[in-house]
Copies of this chain bind each other. A is one copy, B any other.
Amino acid sequence: MSSAEINKNEVDIVIGALNADLTSFLTSWRPFFTGFHLIVVKDPELKEELSIPEGFDLDVYSKTDMDKIVGASNSTMFSGYSCRYFGYLISKKKYIVSIDDDCVPAKDLKGFLVDAVSQHVTNLENPATPLFFNTLYDPYCEGADFVRGYPFSLRSGVPCAASCGLWLNLADLDAPTQALKTEQRNTSYVDAVMTVPAKAMLPISGINIAFNRELVGPAMVPALRLAGEGKVRWETLEDVWGGMCLKHISDHLGYGVKTGLPYVWRNERGDAVESLRKKWEGMKLMEKSVPFFESLKLPETALKVEDCVLELAKAVKEQLGSDDPAFTQAADAMVKWIQLWNSVNSSS
């Protein structure tokens, strides 16, 4: 699907501004962002004025807007990388595409710049196939198909809830790995999209992601935040853990999650060795989360995404709450998020 075939009115591109100067970021994306509506959400902790080049269809939201729309007491849940969730909350579009502001367009195997927006929307518009694995990758791509033996009754697939893109140059590693392998760069361009099978757990990254807001919007929740969570991705956990919630809810409701293309090129940010000095709490929390998600079974009565998030919050509090206060806070944040979602999305 080319950019020309996409209904641009159905898409919001949400950018979290952790740095004031967005000039080079937006300029690099101009060929692919032009014609789309952008929501730029300024990190409420960022004091400087944003620097934004002209020529974009763009709205900027800052702490003042957060205070107005969700109340000053709730705006803290949108600090740092989580500021983009404010954009997810107030968007009215079907699809959200979101890319970290330290990423620029990657080049594909032929040397062409990758149109990440079109690829994400293509992934979302085509069905997903979580119920049976297709060894020939995305069967809906041109020139591809279902492999011999793929059940015909499953060839129409299910709706795609989310599209997780990948990263060239700086891959999305955690703090200890990045610090130990400071020189390692990802040079491997894997030319494929695939559906992650149902019941499989994966750590979704928020760096380069898109989702169908109408299908699963409320499930994209900034819940689990580390006490020392910084302004570099390798120290964060909110997207990874929220992604596990999203995947579980998608499985429960019969939707699919895709991974693979599009790639973006990630530039350097932060000091990996500095991060190594901090203890990465994410490690400990993930070890507790895996058996939790593995045994989690949402009740069959949970048919709406909002219900699923609330049921998940209840289970987190009951089963993980005593392990770490971060889990209790996550559960509370999920409940608060659904309240906000219902209030913002019903009032408009």
Contacts and interface: CB of A to CB of B under 8 A. Distances in A.
Interface of A: 109, 132-137, 141, 143-154, 164, 166, 171-174, 177, 181, 184-192, 196-203, 205, 233-234, 237, 240-241, 243, 259, 282-283, 286-287, 290
B188 A287 contact: no
A260 to B, nearest CB: 8
Contacts of A152: 283, 286-287
Nearest to A178: B148
Contact of A135 (B144, B148, B166): B166
Contact of A188 (B143, B185, B201): B143
A203 B173 contact: no
A136 B204 CA distance: 11
Given A198-B200, A199-B199, A287-B153, A147 B133 contact: no
B171 A136 contact: yes
A287 B139 CA distance: 19
B197 A290 contact: no
Contact of A172 (B147, B166, B202, B240): B147
A336 to B, nearest CB: 23
Contacts of A192: 188, 190, 192
A269 B243 CA distance: 45
A208 to B, nearest CB: 11
The 9 closest A-B pairs by CB, nearest first: A149-B203, A149-B240, A197-B200, A133-B202, A148-B174, A190-B192, A133-B200, A199-B199, A151-B286
Given A109-B109, A132-B290, A200-B133, A143 B282 contact: no
Q: Name which of A134, A203, A283 has the most chain B CB atoms within 10 A of its CB.
A: A203
Given A171-B136, A203-B135, A290 B151 contact: yes
Nearest to A177: B145
A320 to B, nearest CB: 15
Contacts of A136: 166, 171-172, 186
A293 to B, nearest CB: 10
Contacts of A134: 202
Given A153-B290, A190-B190, 7 more contacts: A145-B181, A148-B177, A148-B203, A149-B241, A151-B287, A190-B192, A200-B200
Contacts of A287: 151-153
25 contacts: A133-B196, A133-B259, A135-B203, A136-B186, A137-B188, A143-B184, A144-B188, A145-B171, A145-B177, A148-B172, A148-B173, A148-B177, A148-B205, A149-B282, A150-B174, A151-B286, A151-B287, A151-B290, A152-B287, A188-B191, A189-B191, A197-B197, A197-B200, A199-B199, A200-B200
